[in-house]
């Protein structure tokens, strides 16, 4: 075992491997920081470049892109309220509020530090607990996925910021939008109104760019706000104080553990994990009212969870050969091209290569953290760009990102429609988080619940009382009851 570890470590310290890793981290930061250009797109576009190099060099670049893109997605989320990647949605909720308070540097520092912490903790899970986590994820069937989706949807009330009724209405709107496209069981068109581009459903990324990016631009224009007037000229310090480290510790570790577990479940990525972690951190906080208004605990939990999903997804991919998310699905293809078959035998026959992957993830996490900390102050200068130029840039990059997703003009129109809708929803003080949550989890809930009922021949009781499904349903009830318990405690003298 020691020889395998040393051999894997030696492969990472090969100068060419390190060069590919650094290049991957930088490219990942670019793909993550530009809205619409996701980690999945970066890995997919650059995978062909790895065919002519060794497996270690190719994987170093692809893992660098993966690890670099997720925390980089938090940069535009913090600075301009536009999540760079879907996993950065919850990052914007507290990160942007901190930037508006003149603490953009601190928010970017927390993003870099907690992102690295999440990746390192999940990599530790990969190294010591890969098989138990993967075996648990293997037990997930349609009924279990449906239970997970129900639990996620139950968090709508929590992410509504006290506007529960409006949040539930926004969540229902998200669930309704999730039904557009072909029926998952019968392939019959639904609500597409004869538009063939809507047969695949409404793409999530253009909606996200519109709701959080374009809507923010329209809000600032309508209110005549100046970016410089609303944000202090001094971005403040980058590193947290000792007291702030204490506040960040428990939420970040909890978020990392949750993110790892959710990431290990196939098809459940960092976007779902970060929302769950943010809401659980809010429920356990001493001052939950601060969440969504610049709470460091909320930012730390969301960032750590979003990044920890990387290790969870890699765990499932390497031990079972089942992709945990879209990026790991592409990585499976890259490994197969190099003659490497992910699965249990990989841990028996190619142990040095497994340790190479572990050390590559560690090195990529540290490089990403260094890049994030060194770039925090230069990046925060984006806030000093004159507002009209910034608005134009957000609109331009949002349009390019929406179109680049599927090379479809309809996605651009979806982005603009979502931006206008988001503008009016914000004017009506309707929270946007539940809408996004419904759009993400709607397809998962519908398709898996219907599959589970087909497999059980319509047996609702048998479907809902499966152990893991029942666990999620009980967690859903507790999740809904917790705010009532807290309210009753506050009423006591």
Helix (H, G, I), strand (E, B) or coil at 181: strand
Domain region containing 249 = 2-491
> Binning pLDDT at 50, 70 and 90, where does residue 134 land?
low
Residue found by looking up tokens 């913090």 in the block: 78
The answer to whether the predicted template modeling score (pTM) of the entire model surpasses 0.85 is no
Query: What is the tens place of the pLDDT at every residue in 86-99?
Result: 778 888 888 888 88
Query: How many other CB atoms sit within 10 Å of the CB of residue 7?
Result: 14
User: What pLDDT digit, counting tens, does each position of 161-171 carry?
Assistant: 556 678 778 88
pLDDT digit string (tens) for 327-384?
777 787 778 777 787 876 777 777 788 888 888 999 999 998 998 888 766 766 655 6
Nearest to 308 by CA among 293, 292, 324, 322: 324
Total number of domains in the chain: 1
Residue 182 DSSP code: E
Contacts of 275 (CB under 8 A, 6+ apart): 89, 90, 152, 155, 159, 302, 433, 437
- Inform me whether the pLDDT recorded for 41 exceeds 80: no
Report the distance separating Cα 77 and Cα 345, nearest Å.
Answer: 40
Please report which helix (H) or strand (E) contains residue 189, including its range: strand 189-190
Q: Mean pLDDT throughout 221-234? A: 55
């Amino acid at each position: 075992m020691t020889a395998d570890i040393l051999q894997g470590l030696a492969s990472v310290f090969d100068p060419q491997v390190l060069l590919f890793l650094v290049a991957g981290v930088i490219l990942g930061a670019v793909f993550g920081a530009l809205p619409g250009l996701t980690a999945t797109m970066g890995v997919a576009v650059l995978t062909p470049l790895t065919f002519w190099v060794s497996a270690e060099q190719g994987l170093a670049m692809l893992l660098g892109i993966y690890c670099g893109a997720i925390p980089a997605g938090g940069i535009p989320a913090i600075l301009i309220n536009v999540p760079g990647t879907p996993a950065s949605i919850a990052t914007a909720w507290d990160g942007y509020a901190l930037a508006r308070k003149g603490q953009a540097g601190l928010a970017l520092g927390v993003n870099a530090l907690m992102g690295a912490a999440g990746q390192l903790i999940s990599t530790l899970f990969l190294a010591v607990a890969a098989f138990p986590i993967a075996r648990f994820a293997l037990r997930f069937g349609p009924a279990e996925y449906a239970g997970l989706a129900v639990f996620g949807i139950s968090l709508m009330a929590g992410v509504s910021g006290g506007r529960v009724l409006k949040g539930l209405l926004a969540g229902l709107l998200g669930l309704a939008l999730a039904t557009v496209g072909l029926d998952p069981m019968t392939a019959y068109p639904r609500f597409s109104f004869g538009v063939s581009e809507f047969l695949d459903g409404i793409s999530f990324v253009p909606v996200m760019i519109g709701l959080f990016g374009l809507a923010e631009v329209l809000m600032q224009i309508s209110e005549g706000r100046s970016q410089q007037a609303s944000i202090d000229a001094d971005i403040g310090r980058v590193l947290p104080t000792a007291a702030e480290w204490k506040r960040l510790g428990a939420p970040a570790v909890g978020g990392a553990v949750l993110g790892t577990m959710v990431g290990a479940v196939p098809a459940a990525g960092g976007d779902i994990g970060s929302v769950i972690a943010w809401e659980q951190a809010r429920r356990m906080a001493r001052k939950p009212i601060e969440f969504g208004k610049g709470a460091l605990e909320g930012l730390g939990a969301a960032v750590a969870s979003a990044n920890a999903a990387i290790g969870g997804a890699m765990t499932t991919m390497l031990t079972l050969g089942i992709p945990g998310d879209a990026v790991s699905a592409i990585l499976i293809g890259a490994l197969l091209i190099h003659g490497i078959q992910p699965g249990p035998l990989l841990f028996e026959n190619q142990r040095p290569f497994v340790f190479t992957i572990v050390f590559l993830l560690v090195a990529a996490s540290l490089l990403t953290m260094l890049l994030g900390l060194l770039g925090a102050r230069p990046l925060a200068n984006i806030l000093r760009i004159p507002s009209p130029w910034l608005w134009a840039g957000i609109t331009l990059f949002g349009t390019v990102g929406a179109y680049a997703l599927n090379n479809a003009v309809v996605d651009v129109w979806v982005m603009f429609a979502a931006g206008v809708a988001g503008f009016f929803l914000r004017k009506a003080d309707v929270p946007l988080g539940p809408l996004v949550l419904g759009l993400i989890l709607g397809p998962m809930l519908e398709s898996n619940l219907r599959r589970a009922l087909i497999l059980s021949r319509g047996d609702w009781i048998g479907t809902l009382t499966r152990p893991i499904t029942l666990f999620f349903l009980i967690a859903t009830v507790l999740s809904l009851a917790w705010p009532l318990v807290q309210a009753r405690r506050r009423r006591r003298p």
